[in-house]
Amino acid sequence: MFVPDKYLAYYVSAKTNRRLIPWNGYCPTHVKILPEDILREREAHPKAKVIVHPECTPPVIQLADEAFSTEGMCKYAKASKTSEIIVGTEVGLLYRLQKENPEKKFYPASRQAICPNMKLITLEKILWLLENMNHLPQAKRDEVKYEVKVPEDIRTKAKKAVDRMLEVS
């Protein structure tokens, strides 16, 4: 069984030739990127390469030149000879891509691909938490302090999977 994203499950299944049972969940941000968005941006930027996140729907992935994890997109942008890239993932990544590659142009595949949960995290909130955590009542401190203990054999296998995910295909 593959959780939490059925579209990522389809992508992984196709790439690995393994039968996976996808959980019927999906990323509400990536499903906002539609095939017509890719076609529109390709028409507007004919020299640009299209890269998308594998949590996009299969029709969107089929229209892309490449599908990468977030870190894979960053590595591709740096290594690629192309000077224009259409990016199919959360629009916030474009800031990082532009900052790391000022000589290139990046275009969002869809301006609708905004993750409201990611936008809740701000530097100001992190700073406030770090400065005030010791002043919070113990019960509140316990709420913001999570420790997950995983057996070593599971940690090792999980790390291998994460390391493979971060590699550029």
The angle that helices 70-79 and 93-100 make with each other, rounded to 10 degrees, is 30
Q: Which residue, 42, 77, 82, is CA-closest to 60? A: 42
- pLDDT of residue 168 exceeding 60: no
Could you tell me the domains of the chain?
1-119 (3.40.50.10800), 121-169 (no CATH)
Neighbours of 109 (CB within 10 A): 28
Q: Assign residue 113 a region (left: φ > 0; alpha: ψ between -120 and 50; beta: otherwise).
A: beta
**38-97 per-position pLDDT tens digit:** 999 999 999 999 999 999 999 999 999 999 999 999 999 999 999 999 999 999 999 999
Structure tokens of 104?
């290139």
Structure tokens of 59?
């029709």
On whether the pTM is more than 0.85, the answer is: no
